Amino acid sequence: MTGKNKSNVTTERITDKSARRDKQQEDSTAVRERKQTPADFSSISSKDLLPASGGEEMTKGFLQELVNILLDYICKSSQRSSKVLDFHHPHQLKEGLEGFSLDLPEQPETLEQILVDCRDTLKYGVNTGHPRFFNQLSSGLDVIGVAGEWLTSTANTNMFTYEVSPVFILMEEVLLRKMQSIVGWSDDEGDGIFCPGGTISNLYSILLARFYFFPEVKTRGMSHLPQLVLFSSEHSHYSVKKSAAALGMGSDNVIMVKCDERGKMIPAELESSIVAAEERGLVPFYVNATAGTTVYGAFDPLNDIADICHRHTLWMHVDAAWGGGLLMSHRHRMKLQGIERAWSVTWNPHKMMGSPLQCSAILVKKRGLLQECNELGAEYLFQTDKHYDVSYDTGDKSIQCGRHVDVFKLWLMWKAKGSEGFGSQVNKCLENAEYLYDRLQRRTDFELVFKNKPEHSNICFWYIPPSLRSLPPGADRDTRLHQVAPRIKSRMMEKGSVLIGYQPLATKVNFFRCVFSNPATQQEDIDFLLEEISRLGSDL
């Protein structure tokens, strides 16, 4: 038999085997559907579910119907024929439509209506797992992560003491040690805690830095401290200013350091800003460096910044909420060289690593500082005479009391993917960014905001409609171009085919920012994005 004939026979066998497998799946599904006739929930309410006596079967039936709704949504989330969103204006949703009402009743509604409400909530929301959702830094729908979130909600426990959350407390310790080792810290240093988002993680870093240099602030307050100032790049996240305001230092005391054209902090500008502040009688204590800026995806020169912080004895924090995921990639982790010299790091696995929201960690190099800064020793929770090692009662490290379990979904994903799997996921997202960058360079109807090859998965660009292509650069062209992205975005939302963000920045008028963090996104989705923008904006 020739090689060609062998190939044909092999292909036929694979096809036959695949057809048989599909037929078996169809048959088993049909049998399962016949056995699982949906219950009638039209006259049943929540009081008939557990813990009601005899409510086991009804509870199983209701939850099975809910799972069917969720499974249907999850399966459709990656179908490109489905919409990213079914857009309605706020007044339309508030007024109610097609049986969906936001109003809260006096009398209980039936479980049938509750299931309809669950289905409609998903229907009118945004499908962030869709391959063509490019709007935010966190996107995608990881099935293992979803499973972890379901289990977490079912367990419904709290992360303040080992006695009520033994397994999750130990998982948090394991995850934090793993992340600290990836950052580059030794086994005998490092601490941390999972927080409700990157903003709170950044707030912790400033809180800890202030306490480290001025521990009296915990009891005596800001009135007993000199006027403190902190430094962050002009491209950094707004949470730094928000945290300074919340902690009583004032947003005006955050000194914004100039960046180069790529969005990176300029070290010489940082040092001159520190010296100038000291000459004015202010007290510098903290520098925030960014690893992956929100808009440009830029990485500040961490080693240079670390040198400056060392010379001036300043706390160095690295906001790697967006860029921390690149540490998982052997190909890209060198972009964060110097992060091991930071005293604290923010890292959001719910961004590049694809964990379901929320999942953010503050990593702290100085072990014990979190506890010392935040502990108040509430005796109804943190008794010292418990029969187990009370160092695992981690709740007093936190500024919260109740704390959601954010660790299990990430722990489960790590078990399922391994570190290598996360690295491959990151690599794919950055490959998508390079593909979009190359496509934009070849087109005359788009213009890159800056010509440099992307460091992260952020790509910033303008669409230039035909009416503007012959206009010379200047104020008139900028004024008209500023209106293009919002108008295309409006049409995009109404149509629901794709979603991408836009913004101005400094002197640059509104431009699109495409970010990749969803491993479901393929090159065909990128091609679709560009063609859709062109279709929606060609008459502007």
Distance CA 60, CA 167 (A): 26
What would the pLDDT profile of 472-530 be if each residue is shown by its tens digit?
Answer: 999 999 999 999 999 999 999 999 999 999 999 999 999 999 999 999 999 999 999 99
Instruction: Spell out the domains of the chain, with CATH numbers in brackets.
Output: 6-121 (no CATH), 158-406 (3.40.640.10), 414-537 (3.90.1150.170)
Q: Does the pLDDT at position 314 exceed 60?
A: yes
Q: Does the pLDDT at position 30 exceed 90?
A: no
From the number of C-beta atoms within 10 Å of its C-beta (0-12, 13-18, 19+), residue 398 rates as: buried
Cross-strand partners of 283: 228
Q: Give backbone dihedrals phi and psi of 361, rounded to 5 degrees, phi first.
A: -125, 145
**Number of C-beta neighbours around residue 95 at 10 A:** 12
Distance CA 397, CA 104 (A): 38
Q: In this predicted structure, what is the pLDDT of residue 3?
A: 46
The DSSP secondary structure of 443-486, one letter per residue, reads -SSEEESS-SPPSSS-EEEEE--GGGTTSPSSHHHHHHHHTHHH
Q: Do 171 and 407 touch, CB atoms closer than 8 A? A: yes
Distance CA 403, CA 393 (A): 12
Q: In this predicted structure, what is the pLDDT of residue 98?
A: 81
pLDDT band at 26 (very low <50, low <70, confident <90, very high): very low
How are strands ordered across the β-sheet holding 446-448? Answer: 133-134, 499-505, 508-514, 459-463, 446-448
Q: What is the average pLDDT across 58-72?
A: 96
Q: Does the pLDDT at position 204 exceed 70?
A: yes
- Residue spans of beta strands (DSSP E) within 224-313: 228-233, 254-257, 283-290
What would the pLDDT profile of 378-404 be if each residue is shown by its tens digit?
Answer: 999 999 999 999 999 999 999 999 999
Pick the closest to residue 49 from 113, 112, 114, 111 (CA basis).
111
What would the pLDDT profile of 431-443 be if each residue is shown by its tens digit?
Answer: 999 999 999 999 9
445 vs 376, 441, 466, 511, CA distance in Å? Answer: 60, 10, 8, 13
Distance CA 228, CA 222 (A): 9
- Residue spans of beta strands (DSSP E) within 259-304: 283-290
Here the tokens at position 500 are 């991408």
Q: In this predicted structure, what is the pLDDT of residue 36?
A: 46
What would the pLDDT profile of 410-427 be if each residue is shown by its tens digit?
Answer: 999 999 999 999 999 999
What would the pLDDT profile of 90-129 be if each residue is shown by its tens digit?
Answer: 999 999 888 789 999 999 999 999 999 999 999 999 999 9
199 vs 327, 360, 379, CA distance in Å? Answer: 20, 9, 29
Q: Give backbone dihedrals phi and psi of 193, rounded to 5 degrees, phi first.
A: -165, 150
Here the tokens at position 468 are 């503007």
Q: Does the pLDDT at position 32 exceed 90?
A: no
3-state SS assignment for residue 259: strand
Q: In this predicted structure, what is the pLDDT of residue 34?
A: 36
Average pLDDT score over the chain: 93
Q: Does the pLDDT at position 458 exceed 90?
A: yes
Here the tokens at position 156 are 């419904």
Q: What is the average pLDDT across 327-339?
A: 98
Amino acid at 318: V
Q: Could you tell me if residue 447 is left (phi over 0), alpha (psi between -120 and 50 degrees) or otherwise beta?
A: beta
Here the tokens at position 232 are 């962050």
Range list of H helices, 125-266: 143-155, 166-183, 198-213, 217-220, 239-246
3-state SS assignment for residue 88: coil
3-state SS assignment for residue 345: strand
Pick the closest to residue 305 from 297, 295, 315, 292 (CA basis).
315
Cross-strand partners of 402: none
CA angle 239, 242, 247 (to 5 degrees): 120
Q: What is the average pLDDT across 266-285?
A: 98
Q: In this predicted structure, what is the pLDDT of residue 38?
A: 56
Give the β-pairing of 360-364 and 254-257: unpaired
What would the pLDDT profile of 133-171 be if each residue is shown by its tens digit?
Answer: 999 999 999 999 999 999 999 999 999 999 999 999 999
Q: What is the crossing angle of helices 198-213 and 239-246, to 10°?
A: 50
Distance CA 242, CA 234 (A): 14
Q: Give backbone dihedrals phi and psi of 312, rounded to 5 degrees, phi first.
A: -105, 5
Query: Lowest-confidence range among 19-33, 89-103, 194-208, 259-273?
Result: 19-33
Q: What is the average pLDDT across 302-316?
A: 98
Q: Give backbone dihedrals phi and psi of 259, rounded to 5 degrees, phi first.
A: -120, 160
